[in-house]
Structure 1
């Protein structure tokens, strides 16, 4: 076979899909192209180029972002003999039906994944010199070229963005933060994740904790801002829930005390006539792990129940994903007040 013979007419057409322009040594061999022939075509001035070990771009010129992503996934894919589905997921521009999407051997993560998820403060794909790829810990792979290998004990389920298997936002954030030293960049990424509804603060803190990144002061500062941002968004959703679903007006952000007695706790919304309260569950895993605070919280909850106060606990995620259902729960608690014994008298004060 001569060096000038293409592997197929379709493979070298400029309009062909990315998956036909970026091929592995194995695929080339299946089409009659030997390793020596491929190397010859990749000489300076040749028609092909080697993007990564064993991965070739069948055209000259700089690779597109889609071609780089496809090359990264081909490089990190398991050998066909080690997996049941040898195909690599389609790239942007060639979507694949959900029912036919294969399981992923590796996931795009870090800044590249955040760019695919649509983060405005993440660098665009063409400007990224490195593509982070998440693989199982025991895979025998090394970082090479534009690919940086990130290892994990268990590969999480993929999220497909334009056909590309990527890590979910919380994991992608943790992998991005692990490589960043710019405090403002970290803060911007975490804030955008919550502000634009990509995820809740809790899931981000869980991933940052698992990655052991909370010993970095600038990450801790960013997490504090993240939690504050998340709480403000949750409070706004709670206001919307009350007004959009026709609930009676509560008193907002109050503290309860017994007359002349101790502090009973702060609540986000309270209906005094029905003795029903709503408390947003915005604690992070670190706060939940504080045994002293957790015990105090349990005692306070039990005390309110003994006094006849019904407390409805709502998570930010439930407010985001099932607001109508949460409104129904609160409405049911308000309606049930008539069937309960009157609650003890408590003093309602503005939250300090």
Structure 2
């Protein structure tokens, strides 16, 4: 048998003609399942042969440099190899040979369509997220990233990908330039991939908020998030025919203390809208860490306490405060417009509010 002779009826012609990456990159276990022995695989990978050894236990079934997609797929096959002491597999990903592994970092952001992330073909490494207990080393272009608890992956381009917030944190961990970090974080909000609070929370979990390259980037992220939320609030009022409010004003009692600012205020109806664009800058409790759908408790958030205290003061004075989040405005603007309209229509049924002085902010 020569090196160019097909090894199996499954491979009737040179495999570089196959378009599906799942046929161009295979693990040793997948080759064995197709009837290709270890000796045959080694023979095909000899110098000048049609195949090549891409990663430990992973083979590229054509000559020439691997594509970005092939390197991505190979990285998952390498990281997804089950431990020798365990046969356990994750059903949704087991058939592909990925185990619990998922793409993260810049490679994941490229799959999400981030314009500020390099193309897969230009990446020098592929970050792959695996359980902390895996005994697996980074090798060649694969960087192994470990997590105590894995998040639920998203399926993109047929492969498991870490949620965008986790992928951002892992990408930021490998960047040293503030400009690069700012570009990624700003695009995450501007393109609607995530909310600032979720991104900052993940950066806090990863203990990245104190890095010089991250501090300024987070400020830019929060400013971008607020500007985007305000623009959506303006759009909601105008496109849904709500009365024009006073925008971005402060309230106080005549001759008394300031009560705080609101994003929109209808003085004749004593209805205010406040956008929740806060983001945590403190540690996240363990139950809210990566890997679950839990959210960190609000009891540790001083910003939330300030929001709640201001709302309580205003409502004691007869002002109805409608609390909106950027996510609600983006995903359910019609519903939020109905909530605000209902509050405005109910003004006549309430007791007359206290007189408040309105100040520009």
Give the TM-score taking structure 2 as reference length: 0.88
Residues 123 and 289 of structure 1, relative CA distance in 2, 3 Å threshold: farther
Whether the 8 Å contact between 1:42 and 1:50 is mirrored in structure 2 is yes
The 3-state SS of whatever aligns with 1:177 is helix
Q: How many angstroms does 1:209 deviate by?
A: 0.4
Residue correspondences, number: 338
Residues 57 and 180 of structure 1, relative CA distance in 2, 3 Å threshold: same
Partner of 2:342: 332
Matched, 1:267 2:262: yes
Partner of 1:246: 241
Whether the 8 Å contact between 1:10 and 1:16 is mirrored in structure 2 is no
Extract unaligned runs of 5+ from structure 2. 283-297
| Alpha-carbon distance in structure 2 between the residues aligned to 1:26 and 1:5 | 21
5 Å-filtered alignment, 1:1-352, equals 4-11=4-11, 12-13=14-15, 14-79=17-82, 81-83=87-89, 85=91, 86-88=94-96, 105-286=100-281, 294-351=304-361
| Superposed CA offset, 1:143-197 (max 9, x none) | 1121111111111111112212111211111000000001111111111111111
Residues 39 and 237 of structure 1, relative CA distance in 2, 3 Å threshold: same
| Superposed CA offset, 1:281-338 (max 9, x none) | 0110227777665544433222111100010110000000011111111111111111
| Alpha-carbon distance in structure 2 between the residues aligned to 1:19 and 1:290 | 47
The 3-state SS of whatever aligns with 2:47 is coil
Whether the 8 Å contact between 1:137 and 1:152 is mirrored in structure 2 is yes
Residues 87 and 7 of structure 1, relative CA distance in 2, 3 Å threshold: farther
| Alpha-carbon distance in structure 2 between the residues aligned to 1:51 and 1:23 | 10
Partner of 1:97: none
| Alpha-carbon distance in structure 1 between the residues aligned to 2:3 and 2:303 | 72
The 3-state SS of whatever aligns with 1:256 is strand
Residues 167 and 257 of structure 1, relative CA distance in 2, 3 Å threshold: same
Extract unaligned runs of 5+ from structure 1. 90-102
| Alpha-carbon distance in structure 2 between the residues aligned to 1:130 and 1:296 | 44
Residues 165 and 84 of structure 1, relative CA distance in 2, 3 Å threshold: closer
Q: How many angstroms does 1:9 deviate by?
A: 4.6
| Alpha-carbon distance in structure 2 between the residues aligned to 1:2 and 1:74 | 28
Residues 206 and 232 of structure 1, relative CA distance in 2, 3 Å threshold: same
| Alpha-carbon distance in structure 2 between the residues aligned to 1:38 and 1:202 | 50
Whether the 8 Å contact between 2:28 and 2:57 is mirrored in structure 1 is yes
| Alpha-carbon distance in structure 2 between the residues aligned to 1:259 and 1:76 | 66
| Superposed CA offset, 1:28-83 (max 9, x none) | 22333332332232122111101110000111001112211111111122439321
Residues 48 and 235 of structure 1, relative CA distance in 2, 3 Å threshold: same
| Alpha-carbon distance in structure 1 between the residues aligned to 2:49 and 2:322 | 69
| Alpha-carbon distance in structure 1 between the residues aligned to 2:303 and 2:18 | 62
Residues 292 and 42 of structure 1, relative CA distance in 2, 3 Å threshold: closer
Residues 311 and 17 of structure 1, relative CA distance in 2, 3 Å threshold: same
Of 286-295 and 30-39, the range deviating more from structure 2 = 286-295
Whether the 8 Å contact between 1:130 and 1:147 is mirrored in structure 2 is yes
| Alpha-carbon distance in structure 1 between the residues aligned to 2:266 and 2:143 | 54
| Alpha-carbon distance in structure 2 between the residues aligned to 1:274 and 1:108 | 51
Q: How many angstroms does 1:104 deviate by?
A: 5.9
| Alpha-carbon distance in structure 1 between the residues aligned to 2:304 and 2:164 | 28
